[in-house]
Chain A
């Protein structure tokens, strides 16, 4: 039962353009959402998060949007840079529950 879904396994974007990574969830109890970035042979690193009481959170080039009614969130990266090429994981939790991760989207930025 995949409660957090990232339906696009991969995405290619031209350098300088906007990258949009999508994530859907099924558990309406989730009240906190995070994005992690992972380079090959390294552990995931935290990127940005959003609480369910908000619909947008911005940090530099990264913005996360949350649509609770659609159970959907997205990560926008603008402008995209070559160093953004990585696998991005969406994750969610509620209360004291563990983080549940999506399957990841491999982002490739084309110079």
Chain B
């Protein structure tokens, strides 16, 4: 019974490039959340998705960031034209329902040079 799987674990990008982070939720979980942790800060909510739908993207920057959770395949967090300030750990979490306990992946650490 695999947990939440994120890849890549580490990603290095130069300014202006695109970063794609993938997340496969736990089996049976249809609710996916993305959180970001900046250095020395807590976990900040970015976006909440169910299959094929974005439910809440109130924490996502309006530009350059997008997320999807297609009918088939993993959830993708996409950051276009990355800047140094995007360097952070991005955590995906899943849940069998719309609220409550979340199960986290190990995170994807993005470094922008």
Query: A residues touching B (Cβ–Cβ < 8 Å)?
Result: 6, 32, 34, 36, 41-46, 49, 89, 93, 95-104
CB distance from A83 to the nearest CB of B (A): 18
Contact of B48 among A95, A98, A104 (CB under 8 A): A98
With A42-B107, A43-B104, A45-B104 known as contacts, the answer to whether A102 contacts B42 (CB < 8 A) is: yes
Contact check, B42 vs A103: say whether CB atoms are below 8 A apart.
yes
Please name all residues of chain A whose beta carbon is closer than 8 Å to the beta carbon of B6 when the two chains form the complex.
43
Chosen A-B contacts, 21 in total, with CB atoms closer than 8 Å, are: A6-B42, A34-B101, A42-B107, A43-B93, A43-B105, A43-B106, A44-B104, A46-B101, A89-B43, A93-B100, A95-B99, A96-B98, A98-B45, A98-B56, A101-B42, A101-B44, A101-B45, A103-B41, A103-B42, A104-B42, A104-B43
Query: B residues touching A (Cβ–Cβ < 8 Å)?
Result: 4, 6, 33, 35, 41-45, 48, 56, 91, 93, 98-107, 109
Please name all residues of chain B whose beta carbon is closer than 8 Å to the beta carbon of A97 when the two chains form the complex.
99
Q: Which residue of B lies closest to A6 (CB)?
A: B42
Q: Which residue of B lies closest to A101 (CB)?
A: B43
Q: How far is the CA of A104 from the CA of B43 in the complex (A)?
A: 8
Please name all residues of chain A whose beta carbon is closer than 8 Å to the beta carbon of B93 when the two chains form the complex.
43
CB distance from A68 to the nearest CB of B (A): 19
The 6 A-B pairs of least Cβ separation, nearest first, read A43-B104, A103-B42, A101-B43, A96-B98, A43-B106, A96-B99
CB distance from A15 to the nearest CB of B (A): 26
Q: How far is the CA of A36 from the CA of B44 in the complex (A)?
A: 14
CB distance from B46 to the nearest CB of A (A): 10
Please name all residues of chain A whose beta carbon is closer than 8 Å to the beta carbon of B48 when the two chains form the complex.
98
Q: How far is the CA of A49 from the CA of B102 in the complex (A)?
A: 12
Q: How far is the CA of A37 from the CA of B80 in the complex (A)?
A: 31
Contact of B43 among A44, A49, A93, A95 (CB under 8 A): A44
Additional pairs, 8, CB under 8 Å, beyond known A100-B45, A101-B43:
A36-B104, A43-B4, A43-B107, A49-B101, A96-B98, A96-B99, A98-B45, A103-B41
Please name all residues of chain A whose beta carbon is closer than 8 Å to the beta carbon of B109 when the two chains form the complex.
41
Q: How far is the CA of A101 from the CA of B44 in the complex (A)?
A: 7
